[in-house]
Amino acid sequence: MDIRENLSRIGEELEKELHDLDALQALENLKVRVLGKKGSLTALLRGMGQLSPEERPKAGQLINEAREKMTRLLEDKQKELAEREKEARLKKEAIDVTEPRDLPLIGCVHPMNLVLNQVLDCFTSMGFDVAEGPEVELDHYNFELLNIPKNHPARDAQDTFYIDDNTVLRTHTSPVQARTMLSRKPPIRIVCPGRVFRADEVDATHSPVFHQIEGLVIDKDVTMGDLKGTLDAFAKRLYGPDIEVRFRPSFFPFTEPSAEVDLTCFNCHGKGCRVCKGTGWIEVLGCGMVNPKVLSMCGIDPDVYSGFAFGIGLERITMLRYGIQDMRLLYEGDLRFLRQFR
One digit per residue, pLDDT tens: the chain, 342 residues? 477 777 777 777 777 777 777 787 877 887 777 777 777 777 776 667 667 777 777 777 777 777 788 788 778 888 888 888 888 888 888 887 888 878 777 778 899 999 999 999 999 999 999 999 999 999 999 999 999 988 887 777 668 899 998 999 999 999 999 999 999 999 999 999 999 999 888 888 889 999 999 999 999 999 999 999 999 999 999 888 888 899 999 999 999 999 999 988 877 777 888 777 888 888 889 999 999 999 999 999 999 999 999 999 999 889 888 888 889 999 988 888 888 887
> Based on the number of CB atoms within 10 Å of its own CB, is 62 exposed (0-12), middle (13-18) or buried (19 or more)?
middle
Query: Which residues, in sequence order, are CB contacts of 55 under 8 Å at separation 6+?
Result: none
Nearest to 318 by CA among 331, 333, 301: 331
Contact (CB, 8 A) for 170 and 136: yes
Environment class of residue 156 by beta-carbon count within 10 Å: exposed (0-12), middle (13-18) or buried (19+)?
exposed
14 vs 77: CA distance, rounded Å: 11
d(CA 26, CA 318): 65
Global pTM reads 0.67
Q: Cβ contacts of residue 159 below 8 Å, gap of 6+? A: 171, 198, 199, 200
Which ranges of 21-165 does DSSP label H, i.e. alpha helix?
24-35, 40-46, 56-92, 111-125, 139-142
Whole-angstrom distance, CA of residue 246 vs CA of residue 232: 9
CA distance 185 to 202: 40
Q: How many Cα atoms occupy the beta-carbon half-sphere of 253 within 13 Å?
A: 15
